[in-house]
Structure 1
């Protein structure tokens, strides 16, 4: 019974996390890695070279090539805990609505923390694009077209998965652009990613966790990885017998995660002179 409840509570938090995160798994980040995050380190495949294509001869066949998949060791450096005391109830008697409220709150707080940590990794890894000149509603589209061109030159697939994280201020400029198409006009598949719309081939996401000197970051999920698992599932822990708490319990759980960029030149960041 306890194990089932742990799975259910963790699942409820996960659902809320997916709904709350701007930088979602499968959209901004992929989840391709090998190893057990609980061991503290995983291996992330680095897609830096593509399969070689050669000529085929009907008499001699084709020359064999060797696959060369390299891996990046990623330390799982984030270990975040939820440990909130619920006074007046032992674990067996906590009302369901109170549990639901605290799980909802925990999901929101955890999502914000993951967002901030992801932003720090993306900003540190990205290649600076252009100058710090302030964007305007008249220049924002042309700037994004130039970013699109830079990414194409770096062989980033133009497969409707290129993403653009924009500050609230820049999103305001994008909204004023005649070239911006709202997500509701693009179909359910785009809406479900959390995108607000599309411009210059990018799916647009408003990200309030970008630093004050960042206008936007452009990227693709193939080269941005997130490791994200429960080290300890969310559960109600009875605190009776602790020697300190009487008639109390706690909502507890531990989430471990890490972010990595495996091909830094594909990330483009536009900085500003503010702060």
Structure 2
């Protein structure tokens, strides 16, 4: 039985939409350079201009001209993930709707790709700021609930001090930390006013000027005492992300009576403004 109704462009578009629609971290980054990425191994050189020096003018005195200094960083597409599955003709014949089985498998593959890239993004953010001045260390939250709220205030103040725009700030927490936040009067839940799309993307409310998102893909803590997990706060200007579904192919397996479907997802991320991120870990041990 040959695959006769497969349209590569349509299937590829479906995968990309699902990846961006359901990802938590994928919605908290910028994709400024994505259009310049064509295939795995590609890279984009990102040029930034250093701050211009401001001088004091004195009448009848020459002013000083300075060179424009720039810094260059690379966004490299160094992650390659694939899916590949098959449906035997016998299994197709025994199923109520063989096409639905393939679609279900594709939906699951899409979810798995999203899940892996989401964890990759959060880990990249965390790695970029661990041990920096924007790493607030471990906060004890088992002694008083106020400490938990204060930690998010401190995260927000850290972003203030680094001139991060106030609009669009966010923080990502684990489900267990979300449970503790629900017990705080200062936590504003998303409620019915949040759009279904926002809730789908993990949005759960606001605290200390930060839009809060919930994810199971946060990286492991660096402090063994941080039993309450961690929270990453930041802004979309901090991290740039680019992805492509470079190939989706339906094949008739040569040595089997089966149809196969395979796809390749390539992507990369670069924290271009580490000061637009902050992190805190939490000690929840009684």
- Report Cα offsets for 1:59-99 as digits up to 9, x if no partner: xxxxx9998764421221111111112222799xx933122
C-alpha distance in structure 2 between counterparts of 1:272 and 1:99, whole Å:
43
CA distance in structure 1 between the partners assigned to 2:244 and 2:52 by the alignment: 32
Maintained 8 Å contact 1:194/1:205: yes
- TM-score of the superposition, structure 2-length normalised? 0.77
Are the aligned partners of 1:218 and 1:267 in contact in 2 as well (CA < 8 Å)? Answer: yes
Asked whether 1:9 is paired with 2:14, we answer no
1:206–1:120: structure 2 CA closer, same or farther, 3 Å change rule? Answer: same
The residue that corresponds to 1:57 in the other structure is none
Q: Does 1:115 align with 2:156?
A: no
Structure 2 counterparts to residues 8-87 of structure 1, below 5 A: 8-24=10-26, 27-33=27-33, 35-38=36-39, 40-43=41-44, 45=46, 49=50, 70-87=71-88
Q: Give me the whole-angstrom Cα distance separating, in 1, the residues matched to 2:68 and 2:238.
A: 19
Question: Which residue number corresponds to residue 200 of structure 1?
Answer: 208
Question: How big is the shift at 1:205?
Answer: 0.8
Give the corresponding residue for 1:226. Answer: 241
CA contact (8 A) 1:164 1:202 kept: yes
RMSD of the alignment, in Å? 3.4
The equivalent residue for 1:261 is: 271
1:156 paired to 2:159: no
User: Structure 1: 5+ residue runs without aligned partners?
Assistant: 55-63
Verify the 8 A CA contact 2:37 2:44 in the aligned structure 1: no
Unaligned runs of 5+ in 2: 56-64, 222-228
Identify if the C-alpha distance between structure 1 residues 265 and 215 changes in structure 2 by more than 3 Å, giving closer, same or farther: same
Q: Contact 1:182 / 1:197 at 8 angstroms: preserved in 2?
A: yes
Cα shift at 1:191? 4.7
